[in-house]
Amino acid sequence: MLEKALTGSKKYWVWIFFLLALIGIGVINYLRQFSYGLGITGMSRDVSWGFYISQFTFLVGVAASAVMLVIPYYLHDFKKFGKIVILGEFLAVASVSMCMLFIFVDMGQPMRIMNVILHPTPNSILFWDAIVLNGYLFLNIIVGWTTLGADRKGVPPSAWVKPLIYLSIPWAISIHTVTAFLYAGLPGRHFWLTAVMAARFLASAFASGPSLLIILCLIVRKVSKFDPGKEPIQALGKIVTYAMFANVFLLGLEFFTAFYSNIPGHMHPFHYLYAGLEGHAKLVPLMWASSILAVVALILLINPNMRKNENILAFTCASVFISLWIDKGFGLVIGGFVPNPFEGVTEYWPTLPEALISLAVWCIGFLILTILYKIAVTVREETSSWPELH
Amino acid sequence: MYNSGKIITGLIIFVGLVATPFFYNSGKTSVKPEPGIDTPAIRQLAEKQCVEPREFMKANHMQLLNDWRDSAVRDGSRIYVNSQGKQFTISLQNTCMHCHSNKAEFCDKCHTYANVKPYCWNCHIAPKENKT
Amino acid sequence: MSIDRREFLKFAGASTLLGLGGITAVQELLKTSAGASHVMVDEKALSAKRWAMVIDISKFKTEADYKNVVQACHSIHNVPDIGNPKDEVKWIWTDTYEHTFPGQGNEYMPEGLKHKPFLLLCNHCEQPPCVRVCPTKATFKRKDGIVMMDQHRCIGCRFCMAACPFGARSFNWRDPRPFIKEQNPEYPTRTMGVVEKCTFCFERLAKGLQPACVEKSNGGLIFGDLSDPNSEVRKVLSTHYSIRRKPEIGTQPSVYYIIGGSENA
């Protein structure tokens, strides 16, 4: 089926080469980082994880969200998702690939990455994260590819795929739970030391992933003859509504615990992120932007009439995605490092090479996504004239 | 043959790519390297033997160094008793390089020839007289 | 002997599995050829069940008292002086009471103590979070309680830095060598991209020497075996009130601080 990605309109190729160009710029910057060291980034002794790891954290959520299509379709027989399940699975493949690349570019000694396998260490959450991420990548490639291949031939997928599909459900939950445990199990970081971390991660994942998926569905409808359909998009909209509400609620719980308990260590990161601490307030505008976007999105989501208008829904989904991208893809990681273990404030901001490398990783993700979607959409275009399969 | 032009061009490019190492190295003389062992410390040795016999070291020094590294850093055992019962302190910088103070003549000669680039020297400090 | 394709695949599969387990045929051959050799611990080496350090801060009076200690460590371990806090590498350093013991100070404490520098280093915790999170066992706890770094194995993921509640770990954000004024040829430097920290001078203990900072501290730093009731550290701890950093998070630091009484005021 891969050959379907090799033919396309002029626009398709312009987009591909645009991505390749940005990837090229990122590769050049990565080579600079490789020879100079991670000092080329904005990270420091006090803020030892930055943009790379926070992007990884955010994207694990996007990857996990494929399960929001798989559960209704395969467990509840919600047939309307039949046509777009593949889009969720392929989005997961692209997202997990980005996750792995973000971890890779964050390594101080990338050549030694196989040490994680050569010296397996089950007490390290990072070891488990490597396992679940790889497993999830393979599950989605296999499931997506075989079901699409079967669809193309007009036959039901082979029986052996079913167990893998069911396995991918708990697996999706596990990737984001394990990623939350990277943070939630560290004794000295008050901001992360919270039992609702994994729950918050899942809620934000099930809001941000399906939001992106809605936007992608609308784009697919525009650029191809394949129409994902109004109803699946509306169903996704409802999922985003519930998940976003849960996410904001869980964030509220964090605020309550920190401020009602009045424990300084718990309040400091919130002060830093939302009001500034000891005169340091680099992240305040971003965090407020995230909060405002979240509130606007919630208002629009809760109102069914607004949600049913696809133009407004697209705007809402963009708001959800950006809001969560700021909150989880930046504030959450940096907030854990501020203040540092000595109650001092060291701020962080990504440097230009760091931003360009990150952009390149996103572009690689979108390249994978484009190619996979091109294949899926072409197959769908071919089979759309056929009678319903399922 | 179907598409013969494309296939043959592709084959030529493929063979060309695969053969690049041969083109790259052609015309270069490759004399078998002889590592230099003439250093002041070695000259003073009564019996000129490394921690193990020469042949063993030639074949296995990388494995021995790996074992030494783990035993010193991870197990805290810093004394090596060789197959003849002689004791040595396990240390690349202080034992190996004490005798082999000529890194360029001893280590680099073969490593360059074999194009292996051990990263020992990113951390371990080579003896002074060999700073290039 | 001839093998068919099926047998060959079986054989190849089995050898791959063995290889993954680290038992390659080559390694087996190598082991036997120097069969009679073995490794052991130096007879002179100092040993303990749990190494610990007591910092008697009342013994540190002048700036030189601190400087000697920090210098002793940083010079023999080739710790670079990069000169900016972003890329900084340090094994032992000083900070205020408020920063050393966050939340444990109050505004009415003696002025002298408020501004007195405290020495900070890796706590060599009994329950080290850094060891728990390391994905390659590059940082690990030795039998004698030292939390050790194997720089050969570190992949530079910096999970240990996020996990350490004491900010004891430094990362080599860039090549440290240009920033080492005078290299100690007897100790390695580090390479870019690995984490490092105090090792309680494991290399000196192996030779029967006290840690370098202890040697230069004029009795301000006391080092010994916490499990031995007759050791000096135990004697000092049983006669003086001592505190540790962030005891509430349960890592059980092996570094104790004696604040001293009115002489600090």
| Per-residue pLDDT at B127 exceeds 80 | yes
| A197: nearest Cα among A212, A175, A181 | A181
A183-197, A285-299, A337-351, B43-57: segment of lowest average pLDDT: B43-57
For residue C88, give the chain A residue with the closest CA: A45
A379 contacts: CB under 8 Å, gap ≥ 6: A1, A4, A148, A151, A152
Grouping H, G, I as helix, E, B as strand and the rest as coil, residue C230 is: coil
The pLDDT of residue B130 is 46
pLDDT of residue A152: 87
Per-residue model confidence (pLDDT) at position C262: 43
Give A281: exposed, middle or buried? Use CB within 10 Å, 0-12, 13-18, 19+.
middle
Report pLDDT for B129: 63
Contacts with C152 from chain B: Cβ below 8 Å: 69, 73
Among A37-41, A179-183, B42-46, B60-64, the least confident range: B42-46
- Ranges A169-183, A339-353, A372-386, C126-140: which has the least confidence: A372-386
Contact between chains at C152 and B77 (C-beta distance less than 8 A): no
The whole-angstrom separation of Cα C13 and Cα A178 is 31
Show residues of chain A in contact with C157, CB under 8 Å.
103, 106-108, 126
Q: What is the pLDDT of residue A344?
A: 92
Chain A contact for C138 (CB, 8 A cutoff): yes
* Closest-CA distance of chain B to residue C44, Å: 11
**Chain C residue with Cα closest to B79:** C40
Which two tokens mark C224? 């010994």
What is the tens place of the pLDDT at every residue in A91-111? 999 999 999 999 999 999 999
First vs last Cα of chain A: how many Å apart? Answer: 21
A266, A258 contact by CB (below 8 A):
yes
What local confidence, expressed as pLDDT, does residue C13 receive?
59
CB neighbourhood size of A60 (10 A): 30
Report the distance separating Cα C193 and Cα C173, nearest Å.
6
Q: Per the CB < 8 Å rule, is A107 touching C155?
A: yes
CA–CA separation, C18 and A298 (whole Å): 56
Which of A126, A186, A342 faces C99 most closely, judged by CB atoms? A342
Helix (H, G, I), strand (E, B) or coil at C156: coil
User: What confidence tens digit (pLDDT) does each residue in A224-263 have?
Assistant: 888 888 999 999 999 999 999 999 999 999 999 999 999 9
Interface test with A, best of C136, C164, C249 (most A CBs within 10 A): C136
Partners of residue C118 on adjacent β-strands: C95
Pick the closest to residue B94 from C211, C187, C180 (CA basis): C187
Of B63, B90, B125, the CB nearest to C39: B90
What's residue B26's pLDDT? Answer: 77
Averaged over A61-87, what is the pLDDT? Answer: 90
Contacts with B, C 59-98, CB within 8 Å: 78
Query: What value does the mean pLDDT of chain C take?
Result: 88
Q: Give the distance, in angstroms, between the CA of residue C74 and the centroid of all CA atoms in the same chain.
A: 13
**Chain B: residue nearest C141 by CA?**
B74
pLDDT given at position C93: 96
Q: Are C34 and B83 in contact (CB under 8 A)?
A: yes
Mean pLDDT estimate for chain A: 93
Closest Cβ–Cβ partner in C153, C167, C193 for A115:
C153
Question: CB contact, 8 Å: C25 with chain B?
Answer: no
Nearest residue on chain B to C39, judged by CA atoms? Answer: B80
The ranges of chain C with pLDDT < 70 are 1-35, 261-265
Looking at residue A388, its pLDDT comes to 53
Nearest by CB to C102, from A48, A107, A343: name it: A343
Angstrom distances, CA of residue B107 to CA of A183, B65, C78: 45, 13, 24
Q: Look up tokens 């005169």; give the residue.
A: A279
Tokens of A276: 């500034």
Torsion over CA of A308, A312, A314 and A318, rounded to 10 degrees? Answer: -130
Provide the pLDDT confidence category of residue A300 given band limits of 50, 70 and 90.
very high
Provide the pLDDT for residue B2.
Answer: 79
* B125/C37 Cβ within 8 A: no
pLDDT in the model for residue A242: 96
> In the prediction, which pLDDT does C265 show?
39
Residue contact B90–C34, C-beta within 8 A: no
For C212-232, the pLDDT digits (tens) are 999 999 999 999 999 999 999
* Helix residue ranges per DSSP H, A119-228: 125-153, 161-184, 197-223
For A115, nearest residue in chain C (alpha carbons): C136
Contact C140 B56 (CB under 8 A): no
Probe site for chain C from B123, B129, B131 (most C CB atoms < 10 A) = B123
Structure tokens at A249: 């609620």
Lowest pLDDT segment from A292-306, A319-333, B19-33, B96-110 = B19-33
Residues of C in contact with A264 (CB under 8 A): 103
- Enumerate residues 110 to 169 of chain C having a beta carbon within 8 A of any beta carbon in chain B: 140, 142-144, 148, 150-152
| Inter-chain touch A44–C87, beta carbons under 8 Å | yes
C185 touches chain B (CB under 8 A): yes
- Contact, C51 vs C213, CB < 8 A? no
Average pLDDT over residues A43-63: 96
Q: Which of C26, C39, C46, C196 to mutate to test the interface with B (most CBs of B within 10 A)?
A: C39
